[in-house]
């Protein structure tokens, strides 16, 4: 590997920061993560990652990338209670009002609590001799060269101590969607990046339940993506052998209440009975937790003409997606791979090269999330003909894929960021979609399984 510099700093040590640090460790003498929280002794949610108590699944592509960075990582997560397995054959997927056909595939996803996933990455990372973390360290701002053309480090406070300067050859902001980079850059005379926001007002209400081996027909997860006329979402995911996590909720304020009976009634309104079956019969193992997610948010750093040297913005700080599609950690992992590829070519023009590479990787999950959210008639945003056509076509694909395993697999390869969306327009796939819909019409089937009843 090429040595690029002596010291790199990463702001934030959640999934994005950890994966960025892993990529940097091959190119810098020392990598220091500055994290505002202290790391809990056990893998439990922490303040700086408030989504940590809610359902998280790792898509197949994200698992592949993290496993490449840390060989044996999947087995470690499984040994501590998680589960990995076939994401088509062992997971129920409901979208566009229908359940996709389950069929064996080679796509392997990983389920464990969000803190467990992060804890195992952090421990593997900190076992590297040149990576360290400073806990309870809040970054307050950037330190720039006299002419502001380059970043030289950060100003940070550890605990209640005095503000200190930490110098570095590269600073990477992985501080999440609340990132201060736009404001910090503006204070140095740079233009803020354009922000694209698609307001969706998603709410998650989450609770843990006792899991029994025969639940859900032996499958380890069920994911329900809302679709008109019932836009409510739900996830029922394996957490440990004896524990399910249930997160349910909807768009634009249609959130699940944190009250026993009303939560159950909301679960009952989903387009499949499985989540209600667990909620109404299994022993609850936690209180309710709530999380509000206002908008898909993308900061277009790749469009900036002027940007300081030695500075990057990473993961959710650059783009955060409607969490219902489970993409965030996988995109962070993809960005870490791209960062390593960019560093292989040296640090000249690193920021524009990285932001352009990341743009290409973000475009696909962004189009999946935003395109699907725009099917909701009250979500505001431009709906060009391309978006309308794709949404119409994906609806038809779902109708055919409820009886067609290879078609369901093709769709889930794209949703798991393993294959490009154009794969779904390959003539062989289009032929299956047409054939499936003709057969359906011949059988006189209704277009949705069950629209669900709003509670």
Ligand X SMILES: Cc1cc2nc3c(=O)[nH]c(=O)nc-3n(C[C@H](O)[C@H](O)[C@H](O)COP(=O)(O)OP(=O)(O)OC[C@H]3O[C@@H](n4cnc5c(N)ncnc54)[C@H](O)[C@@H]3O)c2cc1C
Q: Which residues bind ligand X (CB under 6 A)?
A: 11-17, 34-37, 48-49, 51, 54, 56-58, 138-139, 174-176, 204, 291, 293, 315-317, 323, 326-330, 332
In angstroms, give the least distance from the CB of 429 to ligand X.
Answer: 25
Length of the chain: 455
Q: How far apart are CA 244 and CA 57, in angstroms?
A: 12
In angstroms, give the least distance from the CB of 163 to ligand X.
Answer: 12
With vertex at residue 177, the alpha carbon angle to CA 173 and CA 179, rounded to the nearest 5 degrees, is 40
184 token code pair: 């910090």
Comparing CB distances to ligand X, the nearer of 17 and 234 is 17
Helix, coil or strand: residue 367: helix
In angstroms, give the least distance from the CB of 202 to ligand X.
Answer: 8
Comparing CB distances to ligand X, the nearer of 13 and 278 is 13
Residue by residue, DSSP assigns 338-380 as HHHHHHHT-STTHHHHHHHHHHHHHHHHHHHHHHHHTTSTTS-
In angstroms, give the least distance from the CB of 110 to ligand X.
Answer: 10
In angstroms, give the least distance from the CB of 362 to ligand X.
Answer: 12
Comparing CB distances to ligand X, the nearer of 33 and 351 is 33
Q: How far apart are CA 70 and CA 49, in angstroms?
A: 22
256 token code pair: 């699940």
207-242 burial: b if 16+ Cβ within 10 Å, else e:
bbbebeeebbeebbbbbbbbbeebbbbbbbbbbbee
> Is the CB of residue 19 less than 8 Å from the CB of residue 121?
yes
164 token code pair: 């200190």
Strand order in the sheet with 163-167: 137-144, 151-158, 163-167
Phi, psi torsion values for 382, nearest 5 degrees:
-70, 140
In angstroms, give the least distance from the CB of 166 to ligand X.
Answer: 11
In angstroms, give the least distance from the CB of 56 to ligand X.
Answer: 4
Q: How many CB atoms lie within 10 A of CB 148?
A: 15
């Amino acid at each position: 590997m090429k040595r690029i510099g002596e010291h790199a700093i990463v702001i934030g040590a959640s999934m994005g920061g950890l994966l960025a640090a892993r990529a940097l460790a091959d190119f810098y003498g020392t990598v220091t993560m500055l994290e505002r929280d202290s790391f809990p002794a056990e893998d439990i949610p922490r303040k700086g990652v408030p989504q940590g108590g809610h359902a998280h699944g790792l898509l197949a592509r994200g698992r592949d990338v993290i496993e490449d960075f840390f060989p044996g990582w999947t087995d470690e997560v499984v040994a501590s209670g998680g589960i990995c397995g076939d994401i088509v054959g062992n997971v129920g997927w409901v979208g566009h009002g229908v359940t996709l056909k389950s069929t064996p595939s080679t796509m392997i996803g990983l389920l464990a609590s969000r803190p467990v996933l992060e804890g195992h990455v952090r421990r593997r990372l900190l076992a590297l001799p040149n990576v360290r973390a400073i806990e309870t360290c809040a970054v307050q701002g950037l330190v720039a060269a006299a002419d502001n053309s380059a970043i030289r480090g950060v100003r940070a406070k550890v605990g209640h101590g005095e503000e200190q300067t930490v110098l570095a050859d590269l600073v990477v902001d992985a501080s999440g969607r609340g990132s201060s980079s736009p404001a910090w850059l503006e204070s140095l005379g740079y233009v803020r990046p354009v922000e694209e926001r698609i307001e969706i007002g998603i709410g998650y209400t989450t609770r843990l339940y006792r899991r029994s081996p025969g639940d859900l027909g032996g499958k380890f997860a069920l994911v329900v993506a809302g679709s008109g006329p019932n836009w409510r979402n739900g996830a029922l995911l394996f957490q440990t052998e004896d524990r399910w996590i249930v997160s349910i909720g909807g768009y634009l304020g249609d959130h699940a209440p944190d009250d026993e009976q009303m939560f159950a009634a909301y679960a009952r309104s989903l387009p499949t009975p499985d989540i209600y079956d667990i909620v109404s019969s299994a022993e609850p193992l936690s209180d309710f937790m709530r999380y509000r997610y206002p908008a898909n948010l993308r900061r277009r750093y790749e469009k900036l003409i002027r940007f300081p040297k030695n500075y990057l913005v990473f993961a959710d700080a650059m783009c955060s997606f409607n969490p219902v599609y489970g993409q965030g950690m996988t995109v962070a992992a993809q960005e870490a791979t791209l960062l390593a590829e960019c560093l292989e070519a040296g640090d000249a023009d690193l920021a524009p090269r990285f932001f352009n590479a990341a743009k290409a990787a973000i475009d696909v999950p962004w189009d999946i999330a935003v395109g699907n959210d725009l099917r909701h008639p009250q979500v505001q945003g431009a709906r060009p003909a391309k978006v309308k056509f794709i949404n119409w076509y994906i609806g038809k694909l779902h109708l055919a894929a409820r009886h067609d395993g290879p078609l369901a697999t093709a769709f889930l390869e794209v949703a798991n960021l393993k294959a490009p969306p154009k794969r779904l327009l390959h003539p062989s796939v289009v032929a299956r979609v047409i054939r499936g819909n003709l057969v359906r019409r011949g059988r006189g089937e209704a277009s949705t399984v069950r629209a669900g009843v709003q509670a």
